[in-house]
Amino acid sequence: MRSAFEPSLAAQRRRHLLGAALGAALLPGGTARAQPAPAYPARSVRFIVPFPAGGPVDITGRALAQKLGEAWGQPTLVDNRAGAGGMVGAEAAARATPDGHTLFVCSIHHSVLPALRPKMSYDVERDFVPVSFAARFPVILVVHPSLPVKSVAELIALDRARPGTLSYGSSGNGGGTHLAGELFNLLAGTRLQHVPYKGSAPAMTDLLGNQVQIMFSDAPTALPQIKAGKVRALAVASPQRSALLPELPTVAETGLPGYEAYSWAGVLAPTGTPAALVGRLSSDIQQALNLPEVRQRLLEAGAEAAPSSPEAFGQLLRSEMRKWAQVVRAANIQMD
């Protein structure tokens, strides 16, 4: 399938329709022996986002829906199906007809949930096929300014000198920022105490008030406080430095080799979606994510565009599932 972003598509469709009409006229009875493959999309396309509007996963889905709708010439909508940590939306997407008209914007939560909730009504590997990775959401390690550390190595040393006395806030039990902290504990041998909150904003409020000393924060929550000098940024948890704070080193660079943690979003389709259509969707999504205006829109929301092939996204998804399952078991993380 050719990409909807290719400028010659309209002309090709006109030639295709004209050729089909001529061919049908030449056959006995005016009936063509073989019908052409149905056009895609034939109607509106729906991106199911399993979280409320306004968050980074939702913004990623909306940026894609806008540009793909323009390219496809069909209404392309975001359907927010929030609930149960992302499971409600996943269940709805898994039951959708596999014809490319319903797509699922998944997140890091869907690589963690199998380890936290072994009995779910869907299986992310069985019921979906990968289409494209979409965006990476950097996690930034920040501390209260009163904490006498300016690097990851110094934070590890302070914890070892005062074991069990330092605490970190997260956006919720079992979420990406919680897992980032537990992975840090496992690799560094630290004993940072986890304090879960109902969202990043209240966690940041308590960090500003020095109720907790550390936070593995999503970028949109951390950046304003970093720029205002109210918290100190030690490192970004991504494998590479972030375009959001290019001068900030990674955790691996400054004291903990091998560490990487970030949230992310990707696009899945229901199992049974034809392989050729998956390839076409992936190509179109990759082209949309490479548009400068889309990359800028995501960057302003604290996200970095990261398009990929279906195969690369599938490998990443499986790797994330294995990685976080190990963290969940080692840290004995339980859902509330």
Q: What is the DSSP string of 236-252?
A: E-SSS--TTSTTSPBTT
Q: Is residue 125 domain-shared with residue 180, that is, in the same domain?
A: no
149: domain CATH number is 3.40.190.10
DSSP symbol at 231 = S
Q: What pLDDT score does 336 carry?
A: 64
Q: What pLDDT score does 260 carry?
A: 94
Q: Is residue 199 domain-shared with residue 116, that is, in the same domain?
A: no
Residue 336 belongs to a domain? no
Q: From the CA atom positions of the chain, what is the Rg in Å?
A: 23
Round to whole Å and give the CA distance between 261 and 218: 11
Q: Is residue 161 domain-shared with residue 227, that is, in the same domain?
A: yes
How many domains, the chain? 2
Q: Is residue 231 domain-shared with residue 266, that is, in the same domain?
A: no
Task: Report the candidate in 296, 303, 236 with the shortest Cα–Cα distance to residue 264.
Answer: 303
DSSP string, 152-206: HHHHHHHHHHSTT--EEEESSTTSHHHHHHHHHHHHHT--PEEEE-SSHHHHHHH
117: domain CATH number is 3.40.190.150
The torsion of the CA quartet 117, 119, 121, 125, rounded to 10 degrees, works out to 70
Round to whole Å and give the CA distance between 239 and 170: 20
Residue 168 belongs to a domain? yes
Q: Is residue 131 domain-shared with residue 145, that is, in the same domain?
A: no
Q: Which of 236, 252, 282 is the last residue of a domain?
A: 236
Residue 7 belongs to a domain? no
Q: What pLDDT score does 175 carry?
A: 87
Q: Is residue 196 domain-shared with residue 56, that is, in the same domain?
A: no
Residue 172 belongs to a domain? yes
Q: Is residue 132 domain-shared with residue 60, that is, in the same domain?
A: yes
Round to whole Å and give the CA distance between 5 and 294: 14
Q: Which of 236, 254, 280 is the last residue of a domain?
A: 236
Round to whole Å and give the CA distance between 5 and 318: 30
Residue 226 belongs to a domain? yes
Q: Is residue 223 domain-shared with residue 154, that is, in the same domain?
A: yes
Classify burial at 83, counting beta carbons within 10 Å of its beta carbon; exposed 0-12, middle 13-18, buried 19 or more. Answer: middle
Q: What pLDDT score does 25 carry?
A: 36
Residue 224 belongs to a domain? yes
Residue 28 belongs to a domain? no
Q: Is residue 86 domain-shared with residue 152, that is, in the same domain?
A: no
Query: What is the token pair recorded at 82?
Result: 């929030």
Q: How far is CA 244 from CA 21, 151, 210, 219, 261, in A?
A: 54, 19, 25, 8, 16
Q: Is residue 112 domain-shared with residue 160, that is, in the same domain?
A: no
For each of the chain's 336 residues, which pLDDT tens digit applies?
556 665 533 334 433 333 333 334 334 444 444 444 568 999 999 999 999 999 889 999 999 999 999 999 999 999 999 998 899 999 999 999 999 999 999 999 999 999 999 889 999 999 999 999 999 999 999 999 999 999 999 999 999 999 999 999 998 888 889 999 999 999 999 999 999 999 899 999 999 999 999 999 999 999 999 999 999 999 999 999 999 999 999 999 998 999 999 999 999 999 999 999 999 999 999 999 999 999 999 999 999 999 999 999 999 999 999 999 999 999 998 876
> What angle do helix axes 310-331 and 109-116 make, rounded to 10 degrees?
40
Q: Is residue 118 domain-shared with residue 158, that is, in the same domain?
A: no
Can you say how many angstroms the Cα of residue 113 is from the centroid of all Cα atoms in its chain? Answer: 14
Residue 234 main-chain phi, psi, to 5 deg: -95, -40
Domain enclosing residue 58, as ranges: 45-137+262-331
Q: Is residue 149 domain-shared with residue 227, that is, in the same domain?
A: yes
Task: Report the candidate in 116, 122, 45, 65 with the shortest Cα–Cα distance to residue 89.
Answer: 122
Q: How far is CA 306 from CA 294, 302, 326, 332, in A?
A: 11, 13, 25, 31
